[in-house]
Chain A
């Protein structure tokens, strides 16, 4: 009995992966959707983007985390494509090495997708964590010999040229750091964010208090936002297929089952102990 239980617990992770792989291969069921088009987060984001000036200059603080980027990646790519579709100009900056690696990969991806290179600016990595963020509000340096119009404008006017800030969070220097270090030092610039669900407890108070103008935080927000996008020929910049919902649902059900099994066995052990005490 004990051997069987041991064997089962050893095989459980592989069984989980096999189950997820099988459900990943099953074509998406029409009845299973992560969201309807109604999401307050998505609506706020869309209305904030609609309110931006023509050809907005958006500073993108790209500090995602490799461990959670898979969750927000489709939404980040859709948002970048949306900003480009609105004739936005995107300046990427990172304050963590991990974020820098992911930002480089996304900029390279936009290049492969033939996004207009005059609308993209790579500001690279800024050292110094919080101090680096404060430095960013005083002076933006453009390295790498970029002498295009966009680069000159950013270098000349600094943060004053920015119409909106988008923080792609997940790492240590996420939306909270931008709210604390940047927002108090600049004039009325909307701060937008895309973060993984795990940061919801941290970001929600800033959204409720108005310090963050809009945020796409849960997968539901992301799906609702992506559903209403009209990108025209920039569709090529978004992910060709939506993330599969069925394996995520199956994985969550398995997680709940494991949790229930642990609770049930604990309760059973307590009942048995109480029973043996009363008999004794």
Chain B
């Protein structure tokens, strides 16, 4: 049972709609593509509508308009935000130098946060954690050394277009095989996740909709 539905009339209608759409999606496996296409449109429309609703109700209203109405001079950065949004919205009619500013700010800020976070939060602590230290347990040392070796081999596997000897080619080949092995393992995890989702949908149809197995 998914547990997303209660016992009211609206919940019953929701269960029926969800069951019908689930059957339409599964029907695509039998070759029924037209209804499946409509269900995809429905999903895209609902997702867009939900996103717009969140943007209006939880972001633009309470975090932008409300503070500006209450105290127009108290949050000057919000006016800068409004100007950037206006520049982005008016991009087709504005000079490129002006319309590029909002996109530049967005991409630059995102890259700055992501890159600095990756270095401070992941790269440095992970290098520190994988350093083999004397005095640790044998298992920790082996794990740390293995991680370092695998990392180096995979990085060398990414070498392309440079002249190299037999040793480097062999090492790069080993790195690529390790990478393929890692991707294979990851795809295995993905199959487990998707299989559980499929079984959950079958459980929804049988349990929530048809009332079997309760």
* Chain A contact residues, CB within 8 Å of chain B: 10, 13-14, 17, 20-21, 24-25, 67-68, 70-71, 73, 77, 97, 100-101, 105, 109, 112, 124-125, 127, 129-131, 134, 141, 143-144, 176-177, 179-181, 183-184, 196-198, 200-201, 205, 208-211, 219, 239-241, 243-244, 247-248, 251-252, 255
**Contact A243 B117, beta carbon cutoff 8 Å:** no
B103 to chain A minimum Cβ distance, whole angstroms, is: 15
Interface centre among B125, B129, B182 (most CB of A within 10 A): B125
- Given the interface pairs A67-B193, A201-B182, A209-B126, the reply to whether A129 lies near B199 with Cβ below 8 Å is no
B136 contacts the other chain (CB 8 A): no
Contacts of A131 in B (CB 8 A): 109-110, 113
Contacts of A208 in B (CB 8 A): 129, 143
CB-CB nearest in chain A for B114: A130
Bound CA–CA A184/B117 (angstroms): 9
List 26 A–B pairs whose Cβ atoms lie within 8 Å, in order of A's numbering: A10-B31, A14-B29, A20-B199, A24-B203, A25-B206, A68-B193, A68-B197, A70-B199, A129-B110, A130-B113, A176-B121, A177-B117, A179-B122, A180-B118, A180-B120, A180-B122, A197-B192, A198-B190, A209-B125, A209-B126, A209-B129, A211-B125, A239-B1, A244-B199, A247-B199, A248-B199
Bound CA–CA A181/B194 (angstroms): 29
**Contact B212 A25, beta carbon cutoff 8 Å:** yes
A188 to chain B minimum Cβ distance, whole angstroms, is: 15
B98 contacts the other chain (CB 8 A): no
**Contact B202 A105, beta carbon cutoff 8 Å:** no
Bound CA–CA A211/B117 (angstroms): 13
**Contact A251 B113, beta carbon cutoff 8 Å:** no
**Contact A109 B4, beta carbon cutoff 8 Å:** yes
**Contact A143 B199, beta carbon cutoff 8 Å:** no
Bound CA–CA A211/B126 (angstroms): 9
Contacts of A211 in B (CB 8 A): 121, 125
